[in-house]
Amino acid sequence: MVIRETSHHFGARDPRTLPEFDAASTPSAPESESSTRPSTSVAVPFTGFKYARVASGFKPVTGFKPMTGFKPTTGFKPTTGSSLPASKFLSGKFASCKLSGTCGAYEDSAAAMDALALPSEAEIGQDIDTYLGSPYSYADVEQVLRAFDFIETIDEAKAFIGAKIRHGLESSLKRVGITPNRTDRHETLLAFNESGYSLEDARHLVASTDFLASVEDAKDFIGLKLVNHSEDVLATHGITQKDPIEYFRNSGYTEADAQRVLDHIPYLGTLDGARRYIGRQVAHGNEQALVEAGIGRPAEDVSREAALNAFQSSLYTREDAFAAKRHFALPSVDEAREFIGRAILLGDEFKLADAGIHPRDFDHHDCMAHFKRSAYSSSDARAAVRAFDFLESVPQAKAYIGLKIANHNEHVLTGAGITPQPYDRHECLDAYHASGYTTADCDKLVENADFIENRREAREYIGLKIVNGWEHVLGRYGIERPETEA
């Protein structure tokens, strides 16, 4: 009887399960036997998912030298990698599985025949019972079906896992990423939440596998692989862990937010710990945890310009900016103004209130008094109504200008082309007449600037912009700077 190599194989041979033979000690069958004995074929299951066929009456290959050290073992029973019905071994693809390597051709012997005993129905039942009592799950069964193409049914996959457990060969399952779930779902989800994997990674797994039905299942699966130290399986699906600080840096949250989280959750220990905490919450789509930690929403959609405009249009003062700089350890007063502006736009002013920073609301009388004592004019108030869409009337604009004066934020007005008039009317008119601007320019200004009522005001306004070095503002109204003679 010979062991014949066939053309189909699965996985790698496990040498611990191979019978040992010695060709020298095995008697050769007479040549005539090969022509009279019927040929029989039986598949021998070996761990490592490779099989061999035994055929009687096959003559050894001339000159073949078997592998050193192979000796027959009386009563040998191979360790099965899978317990399957006998019919599976006698026909179809299970009968054509290959034993890896060149094991040679060996003649029949009683010991070898004893070694070919197939698993009984009782053993198959025992394997399934072993699986049912194990921490492996139905998802693992489905993975077995996908990983080993010679296993065709759910029951076969369950028996396969059970056989591996009974024979202490679970490492062959682990090699293809099948690991027992010895932890409950809470623990696996906790492992995911404390990892550098993201919600997008979980979604990718759902899309790229057919055994994960939801994102929550994918999170559970990732957590299980982390607990069981089988992350290499996740890499085969194209996902890898990242340092949560990367998610923090791309999130729109700031260093001040990290400090706030550290103050709220002291056990994080360091700013890096707080940054990683924020990064993980962002990666896992759990930003509500950050709201509960008191840092509100991310600010990536708020530009610096918008934040500064929000501060400048608010009732917060320069003193408030200095207070924010000190409390939140910000590098400059401008950064503090931006920080306050973001808090306003994102509805997170509670941060400022917690730090004792509140908007300072001057009453209308105070603001009007500041305006009247200033060098600003009614024309400037009308210009403010045009420049700031939150101002609805000239009296409101005068109060707003007074507020900016009180808060030392007049640069807000200057940025809109509104400048105080420290010059008398005579000086402004002299500047206009010496400039080269024309009556047509004045008419254009009256037409396009609704705060200018007549040519006289237009001349004064143009002259004021000249002496203040703000002629570029006139371009907003279609007035070009006149060319000067060389």
Among 67-76, 170-179, 403-412, 414-423, the least confident range: 67-76
227 shares its domain with 253: no
11 shares its domain with 69: yes
* Domain-embedded: residue 213: yes
Percent of the chain with pLDDT over 90: 2
* Domain-embedded: residue 420: no
CA gap 188, 198 in Å, rounded: 14
55 shares its domain with 128: no
Which of 96, 82, 15, 21 is CA-nearest to residue 51?
Answer: 96
228 shares its domain with 311: no
| Domain termination residue (choose one: 354, 374, 394) | 354
Instruction: Give, in degrees to the nearest 5, the angle at Cα 215 between 214 and 217.
Output: 65
What one-letter code names the amino acid at 49?
F
Split at pLDDT 50, 70, 90, the class of 361 is low
106 shares its domain with 210: no
pLDDT digits (tens, 9 = 90+) for 401-410: 888 887 777 8
* Domain-embedded: residue 196: yes
Task: Name the domain count of the chain.
Answer: 7
Q: What per-residue confidence (pLDDT) applies to 387?
A: 82
CA gap 319, 408 in Å, rounded: 9
CA gap 372, 376 in Å, rounded: 8
CA gap 130, 182 in Å, rounded: 15
CA gap 116, 89 in Å, rounded: 11
6 shares its domain with 31: yes
Helix segments in 148-227, DSSP class H: 154-166, 171-174, 185-193, 199-208, 215-227
8 shares its domain with 98: yes
417 conformational bin, left if phi > 0, alpha if psi -120 to 50, beta if neither: left
260-287 average pLDDT score: 85
* Domain-embedded: residue 486: no
* Residue 44: alpha-carbon gap to chain centroid: 47
Helices (H) and strands (E) in the chain, counts: 26, 3
Res. 2: pLDDT tops 50: no
Give the domain range for residue 146. Answer: 121-174
Split at pLDDT 50, 70, 90, the class of 109 is very low
107 shares its domain with 39: yes
Among 239-253, 355-369, 435-449, the least confident range: 355-369
pLDDT digits (tens, 9 = 90+) for 438-469: 999 999 988 888 778 888 888 888 888 888 77
* Domain-embedded: residue 485: no
286 shares its domain with 330: no
* Domain-embedded: residue 129: yes
Instruction: Give, in degrees to the nearest 5, the angle at Cα 348 between 367 and 285.
Output: 160
Instruction: Give, in degrees to the nearest 5, the angle at Cα 132 between 127 and 133.
Output: 100
CA gap 83, 127 in Å, rounded: 7
Max intra-chain CA distance, the chain = 135
Helix (H, G, I), strand (E, B) or coil at 145: helix
220 shares its domain with 191: yes
Q: What per-residue confidence (pLDDT) applies to 43?
A: 43
* Domain-embedded: residue 215: yes
Query: Which DSSP symbol is given to 52?
Result: E
342 shares its domain with 437: no
Which of 346, 356, 226, 360 is CA-nearest to residue 295?
Answer: 346
8 shares its domain with 107: yes
* Domain-embedded: residue 93: yes
Which of 116, 276, 274, 258 is CA-nearest to residue 196?
Answer: 276
159: tokens are: 């028996």
